[in-house]
Copies of this chain bind each other. A is one copy, B any other.
């Protein structure tokens, strides 16, 4: 398997200033897979309850996501309820029900153990470790986490960090993880903990990639309508890892491009609730936004003090 993701598959209820939805398909692994599926085949490891809609599984299956590692357990699917104010950068969690995730013990199908590219979505770091333990010798492992685990399971999280190649976190998480308010210093401190690369996600302000001794920045695409930021970070990671797995390379030039791919996929995600926009793209629509993105960042290199 080229790319493997473990994470949550959920039913989300979301309220933003632009509307609200109840129990729509969500979850870190779902957004990641849908986004990555435009770039590569991949396999999804997660657990759902008996109430998860079959149509959503059919959709993942049709886009080439291998679901052998997606276990259906008796009980209810993981549920999240959240709200956004006009500052769409911050989600306010109202309810979290782990449900079938409480007893989830991921056992990887044999064929998944040879995965080369791996993404550990935002779930309990103990589960992240358990998945990692079952993979023979991955080439590149990315991971996400959140303040809840930074506060509650720091020790296990440190073990995860010592075994991954790249961490994807937002500003606030980077600061909380390291105690550094300056984001450049926070990224350096994270790299001391293990991962040689760090992506700092900054919501509507874009994302920074720290790799080797270089920093690369991709803005968020400026949109007139931002409906719902839920899943943007996972769509970013899905685009990033999907592109890396497609290119089968982690050289700096590829990682910079992957950061742009991630930003483009995130820009689609926030335009609608749930997976509505990310699941209905096509190569032409994606290509067009890449061109717009390139114009957004392009200038003729200059020696400003020459005439």
Chain A residues near B (Cβ < 8 Å): 38-39, 86, 181-185, 202, 204-206, 208, 214-219, 222-226, 243, 246, 253, 256-257, 259-261, 264, 283, 286-287, 290, 294-305, 307
B residues less than 8 Å from A297 (CB atoms):
216-217, 297, 299
Q: A296-B217, A299-B256 are in contact. Are A182 and B224 (CB under 8 A)?
A: yes
B residues less than 8 Å from A205 (CB atoms):
202, 205-206
Kindly report how many copies of this chain are found in the complex they form together: 2
List the 5 shortest-distance A-B pairs measured between CB atoms, nearest first. Answer: A205-B205, A256-B299, A217-B219, A184-B224, A283-B305
Contact of A257 among B218, B243, B259, B302 (CB under 8 A): B302
Least CB distance from A110 to B in Å reads: 28
Least CB distance from A305 to B in Å reads: 5
B residues less than 8 Å from A222 (CB atoms):
183-184, 208, 215, 217
Least CB distance from A199 to B in Å reads: 13
Contact of A215 among B86, B253, B296 (CB under 8 A): B296
B residues less than 8 Å from A183 (CB atoms):
204, 222
Q: Give the docked Cα–Cα distance between A85 and B259 (Å).
A: 31
Q: Report 12 cross-chain contacts, Cβ distance below 8 Å, ordered by A residue.
A: A39-B305, A182-B223, A182-B226, A184-B224, A205-B206, A216-B295, A216-B296, A218-B299, A256-B298, A260-B302, A261-B304, A287-B303
Q: Give the docked Cα–Cα distance between A231 and B207 (Å).
A: 25
B residues less than 8 Å from A185 (CB atoms):
224
Contact of A304 among B86, B225, B286 (CB under 8 A): B286
Q: Give the docked Cα–Cα distance between A305 and B291 (Å).
A: 13
Q: Give the docked Cα–Cα distance between A245 and B183 (Å).
A: 34
Least CB distance from A195 to B in Å reads: 18
Q: Give the docked Cα–Cα distance between A183 and B205 (Å).
A: 11
Q: A184-B224, A222-B208 are in contact. Are A214 and B295 (CB under 8 A)?
A: yes
B residues less than 8 Å from A300 (CB atoms):
253, 256-257
Contact of A305 among B38, B182, B257, B294 (CB under 8 A): B38
Q: Give the docked Cα–Cα distance between A59 and B216 (Å).
A: 36
Are B225 and A182 closer than 8 Å at their CB atoms? yes
Least CB distance from A295 to B in Å reads: 6
B residues less than 8 Å from A305 (CB atoms):
38-39, 283, 286-287
Q: Which chain B residue shows the least CB distance to A183? A: B222
Q: Which chain B residue shows the least CB distance to A289? A: B304
